[in-house]
């Protein structure tokens, strides 16, 4: 008689149910045969399962064991199929009652001694199982807190195969519960090492970062070495709003699949701040591989991707981000299927204005030729700059600013309070539109929420003529003005908000790059 054990597999961030079908037959050839499009890790499970059962003091049948992973037309990946295979074999051998296994699912990798190791992707796997009506799931102890984040399913953590067997016979495992709200509350009270109170001067850049954080806008800082670009970027994390419950679970799914969660920290509670070195490859940025994994733009989802010395990145690497910046997602296509990963991140870039770094500097003279400057700036294309809402010149501090030892009047907490208030306004405004921030507005929603009075229209018309604004730049100026109005608590976009948007939209250096 064939036994079926419940488990699941993932494609991208989504999971699908897998039936592990076990049939034990008498045949000349003994051992485990696995069918149903398994990957290499699953095929190697045969040896692990056999050793784990024997070394747990349990009987391994001296017959042929056929394991089918259904549906057979979808490829299965991962090592978490070890435990459901072993449980199925023990069920066929009547070590565990088949009736007790019906409402259970199993996830876990087996060691040769029968211990159960942690696996990737537990959260999306359990979410998928819960949506299919599975009532109970047994996972590795190291993954139990992560799995317990899912409501509506009973979660049990096991250390070994023997513990799983005894759970169904005489010693039930204690169910695990996790308070998701408590994790988020603790994270909201956390202090940050870098604070804007320690940044001298740079009021324009600080204001630009406040706008970027409030509306989820991309930002580029241009300035000479030592102007404070990197310090400003490090402080940016401290003014980001706390994650919502939905955002936290969404990020945890991503990090679970990427294998970046630990048993001690089962939930992503802070917005990611990913710093990428300029030696990173295009695949490292966007994701991919034979078994596709999330790249840096997906790991920065709902957070920040920081590119220091942005022009040092190969142009081909920078160009792969153009479409994700526009669509807020990345599609990785393979022969039999395609995978979509979310990529709603804030791109934060920093660069020098020229190869020597002192173009426009009031203290040092630039030694670069015009052709060197043009070649240097051309590493960032006009279409990519079009997608960066705020372009700010960060100037060298004056002697008086450098000698001032007093902390700034405004702390990161003060700025973050205004950012949170603006985000709350946006969340209420877009509650029926499926977006969270102004940066996500499409053309239709821009017409609905970014209306201008006659004076504002005249200002915008003059700017379109002067700066030769493209359709994309036009939309981004309006979205930026909408965020500035929200920070001011204004329902309408006023002329002052529009003028300020242009001020942060046009940089002296990036104007040169667009020529």
Domain borders along the chain are 3-167, 185-420
Segment of 106-115, 332-341, 491-500 carrying the highest mean pLDDT: 106-115
Identical fold between 3-167 and 185-420:
no
What are 94's two structure tokens? 């009547």
Q: Average of pLDDT values for 183-196?
A: 75
Residues of the chain with pLDDT > 70, as a percent, come to 96
Residues 6+ apart with CB under 8 A from 69: 18, 19, 20, 21, 34, 35, 36, 37, 38, 42, 76, 81
Res 51 pLDDT > 90: yes
Beta bridge partners of 151: none
pLDDT at 513 over 50: no
Q: Has residue 254 got a pLDDT over 90?
A: yes
Strand partners, 306: 275, 348
What CATH code would you report for 3-167?
Answer: 3.30.230.10
Residues 89 and 61: their CA atoms lie apart, in Å, by 8
Which range has the worst mean pLDDT, 44-48, 98-102, 187-191, 240-244? 187-191
Question: Over the range 77-109, which residues count as b (16 or more CB within 10 Å of their CB) and which as e?
Answer: bbbbbbbbbbbbbbbbbeebeeeebeebbbbbb
Residue 452 reports pLDDT greater than 50: yes
pLDDT of residue 36: 93
Mean pLDDT of 4-26: 93
Is the CATH number of domain 185-420 3.40.50.300?
yes
Q: What is the pLDDT of residue 441?
A: 94
Q: Residue 399: its pLDDT value, please?
A: 75
**Confidence band, pLDDT 50/70/90 cuts, at residue 26:** confident
Integer angstrom CA distances of residue 54 from 166, 347, 428 = 16, 53, 59
Q: Given pLDDT bands bounded at 50, 70 and 90, which one contains residue 343?
A: very high
Question: pLDDT digit string (tens) for 356-412?
Answer: 998 888 888 899 998 999 899 888 888 898 899 999 999 888 777 777 767 767 899
At 73 the three-state DSSP class reads coil
Please name the residue that has the structure tokens 């950012």. Answer: 419
Which pLDDT band, with edges at 50, 70 and 90, does 27 fall under? Answer: confident
Q: pLDDT at position 506, please?
A: 60
Average pLDDT score over the chain: 89
**pLDDT, position 7:** 97
* pTM more than 0.85: yes
Q: What is the pLDDT of residue 507?
A: 54
């Amino acid at each position: 008689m064939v036994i079926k054990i419940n488990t699941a597999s993932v494609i991208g961030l989504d999971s699908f149910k897998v039936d592990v079908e076990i049939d034990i037959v008498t045949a000349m050839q003994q051992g485990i045969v696995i069918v149903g499009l398994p990957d290499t890790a699953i095929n190697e499970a045969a040896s692990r399962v056999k050793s784990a059962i024997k070394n747990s003091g349990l009987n391994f049948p001296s017959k042929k064991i056929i394991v089918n992973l259904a549906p057979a037309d979808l490829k299965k990946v991962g090592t978490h199929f070890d435990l459901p295979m072993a449980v199925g074999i023990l069920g066929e051998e009547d070590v565990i009652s088949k009736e007790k296994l019906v409402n259970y699912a199993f996830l876990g990798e087996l060691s040769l001694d029968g211990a159960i190791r942690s696996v990737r992707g537990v959260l999306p796997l359990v979410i998928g199982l819960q949506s299919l009506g599975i009532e109970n799931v047994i996972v590795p102890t190291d993954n139990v807190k992560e799995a317990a984040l899912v409501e509506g399913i009973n979660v049990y953590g096991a250390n070994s195969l023997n513990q799983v067997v005894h759970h169904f016979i005489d010693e039930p495992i204690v169910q695990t519960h996790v308070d998701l709200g408590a994790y988020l509350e603790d994270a909201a009270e956390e202090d940050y090492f870098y604070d804007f109170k320690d940044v001298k001067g740079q009021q324009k850049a600080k204001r630009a970062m406040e706008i970027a954080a409030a509306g989820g806008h991309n930002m580029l800082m241009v300035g000479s070495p030592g102007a404070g670009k990197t310090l400003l970027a490090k402080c940016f994390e401290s003014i980001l709003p706390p994650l919502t419950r939905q955002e936290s679970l969404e990020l945890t799914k991503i990090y679970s699949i990427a294998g970046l969660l630990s048993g001690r920290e089962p939930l992503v509670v802070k917005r990611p701040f990913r710093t990428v070195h300029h030696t990173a490859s295009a695949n490292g940025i966007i994701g991919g591989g034979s078994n596709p994994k999330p790249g840096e733009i997906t790991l920065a989802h709902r957070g920040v991707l920081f590119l220091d010395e942005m022009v040092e990145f190969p142009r081909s690497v920078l160009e792969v981000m153009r479409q994700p910046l526009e669509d807020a997602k990345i599609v990785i296509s393979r022969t039999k299927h395609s995978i979509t990963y979310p990529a709603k991140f804030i791109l934060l870039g920093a660069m020098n204005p020229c190869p020597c770094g002192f173009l426009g500097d009031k203290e040092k003279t630039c030694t670069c030729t015009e052709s060197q400057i043009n070649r240097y700036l051309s590493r960032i294309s006009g279409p990519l700059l079009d997608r960066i809402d705020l372009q700010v010149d960060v100037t060298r501090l004056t002697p008086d600013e450098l000698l001032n030892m007093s902390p700034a009047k405004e702390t990161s907490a003060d700025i973050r309070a205004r950012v949170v208030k603006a985000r709350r306004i946006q969340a209420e405004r877009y509650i029926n539109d499926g977006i969270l921030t102004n940066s996500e507005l499409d053309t239709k929603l821009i017409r609905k929420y970014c209306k201008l009075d006659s004076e504002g229209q005249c200002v915008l018309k003059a700017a379109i003529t002067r700066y030769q604004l493209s359709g994309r730049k036009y939309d981004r100026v309006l979205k930026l003005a909408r965020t500035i109005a929200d920070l001011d608590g204004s329902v309408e976009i006023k002329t002052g908000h529009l003028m300020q948007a242009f001020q942060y939209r046009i940089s002296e250096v990036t104007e040169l790059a667009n020529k």
